[in-house]
A and B are shown apart, each in its own frame.
Chain A
């Protein structure tokens, strides 16, 4: 018998929900978050997607068109949130953005700031047009900048990424992003450099604004603080350093019922590159596909058999990583939730 297995604690998320008599059911589907590629010009240390320049997964044209059909059919889905990888490296990205904007949807792009300069790592295609394209389409840009100083940013995202990110923000500012009078929104994302909880969002945003303005003359709208999710690349790093259990205990001990009430899976549906549906991008990376129906007639759902009412009445799939979204002030793709 492997006795080591018996000593590993189980961080069961439902225990916390039961303890606080919480039932987290879906509230709405306001956002369709679509992960359109795992290809990225970067290979960040904490990436929960394990994205890198070597990945080949891409959403095909048929699936993009089906996502657009769903957006057109459901006025309550107000937001398209495009993520990856670097979503701009999907061949249908530009059309996806244009057509969703033509439908009147708010379009958010999770843009890593460096792809503008690096281009497509597999084809060499230039992406220098992106800032102008974003501004023309009035997409909301949301970009990771793990810290306002070089050391922590490069430690997490690779050597030279901070400088390139600063240049990327400068270009976006030149096209009007981050300037209140333009209405063009640039939000930045902070995540801790290691197994720590994020600092308070408001005070860190004030620091970012002061430092980026004073040192580089840069502007942005909001800072979102996000907790590092203990899955894939980050989990492996924790296990290598022997810190996985300690990090999980930190998340479990910091469980905040108010943050749990605001978890993003209650108002979002995540679509994989192959059209499969998930409760969030993290569940997507763990292959925890949305299942609807009752005994005997349960089915995994895809964008091709999208049924709004069934999705709204589904049971959200939880696991230990969900403690990442409910710790402290909470964490979501839009930052703190409590």
Chain B
């Protein structure tokens, strides 16, 4: 058995085998937040989802949101830009902590 199997995504709803009402609430919220056109189009939401899927490195989400991007008409340029946004933010989040590094250095008289 592998920890990640692509077919396991289809068993997602089985998590609701116990305390079903909690999973039902989640799916209802999830569908409303990601699966409909609103102030953001479904395609824009799919691109945000794709970026987060990569940031969190969730294989299920990368699979689902790559397909959802294609099924909402996104193109490879848009999808690639979305994951660059995620990558740039991840790099920025690392680098901005350099301020803390410098604060500590300063505190200890090293800067």
Classify chain B's interface size. 10 to 19
Residues of B within 8 A of A203 (CB): 41, 43, 72-73
Determine whether the beta carbon of A200 is less than 8 Å from that of B72.
yes
The 8 A CB mask of B60-95 against A (1 = contact, 0 = none) is: 000000010011110111000000000000000000
Smallest CB separation, B79 vs chain A (Å): 12
| Distance in angstroms between the alpha carbons of A193 and B74 in the assembled complex | 12
Check A199–B72 contact: CB distance below 8 A: yes
Residues from chain A with Cβ under 8 Å of B10 in the complex: 249
Q: How many Å lie between the Cα of A331 and that of B73 in the bound state?
A: 16
Using CB atoms, name the residue of chain B closest to A203. Answer: B73
Tell me the smallest distance from the CB of A50 to a CB of chain B, in Å.
25
A199–B43 contact, CB under 8 A?
yes
Given the interface contacts A203-B41, A203-B43, does A198 sit within 8 Å of B75 by beta carbon? no
Taking the complex as formed, is A216 at the interface, i.e. its CB lies under 8 A from any CB of chain B? no
Majority SS at the chain B contact face: helix
Pairwise interchain contact A207-B76, C-beta atoms closer than 8 A: no
In the complex formed, the residue of A with least CB distance to B70 is: A196
Q: Which residues on B sit within 8 Å (CB–CB) of A151? A: 75-76
Bound-state Cα–Cα, A278 to B54, Å: 47
Contacts of A147 in B (CB 8 A): 75
CB-CB nearest in chain A for B75? A149
Residues of A with C-beta under 8 A to B73:
199-200, 203-204, 207
- Asked if A194 contacts B70 (CB within 8 A), the reply is yes
CB distance from B47 to the nearest CB of A (A): 13
A198 touches B41 (CB 8 A): no
In contact, A196 and B75 (Cβ under 8 angstroms): no
Contacts of B70 in A (CB 8 A): 192-194, 196, 199
With a cutoff of 8 Å between Cβ atoms, the chain B residues found around residue A199 in the complex are 43, 70-73
Within the assembled complex, what's the spacing in Å between the Cα atoms of A207 and B43? 12
Q: What B residues does A193 contact at CB under 8 A?
A: 70
Q: Across the interface, which residues of B come within 8 angstroms of A207, CB to CB? A: 73
Bound complex: CA A142 to CA B37 (Å): 29
B71 touches A196 (CB 8 A): yes
In the complex, residue of chain B having the shortest beta-carbon distance to the beta carbon of A205: B73
- Assembled-state Cα–Cα distance A194/B71 (Å): 10
**Distance between A66 CB and nearest chain B CB, rounded to angstroms:** 42
A230-252 contacts to B, CB under 8 A, are 249
Q: Is the CB of B71 within 8 A of A197?
A: yes
Q: A338 to chain B: closest CB distance in Å?
A: 16
Q: Chain B's nearest CB lies how many Å from the CB of A252?
A: 12
The 8 tightest CB contacts between A and B, nearest first, are: A199-B73, A204-B73, A196-B70, A196-B71, A197-B71, A199-B72, A149-B75, A196-B67
Interface residues in chain A, defined as those with a beta carbon under 8 Å from any beta carbon in chain B: 147, 149, 151-152, 192-194, 196-200, 203-204, 207, 249
Identify 26 residue pairs between A and B in the complex whose beta-carbon atoms are under 8 Å apart, listed by A's number: A147-B75, A149-B75, A149-B76, A149-B77, A151-B76, A152-B75, A192-B70, A192-B71, A193-B70, A194-B70, A196-B67, A196-B70, A196-B71, A197-B71, A198-B71, A199-B70, A199-B71, A199-B72, A200-B42, A200-B73, A203-B43, A203-B72, A203-B73, A204-B73, A207-B73, A249-B10
Given contacts A199-B43, A199-B71, 11 further A-B contacts (CB under 8 A): A147-B75, A149-B77, A152-B75, A152-B76, A192-B71, A194-B70, A196-B70, A199-B72, A200-B72, A200-B73, A249-B10
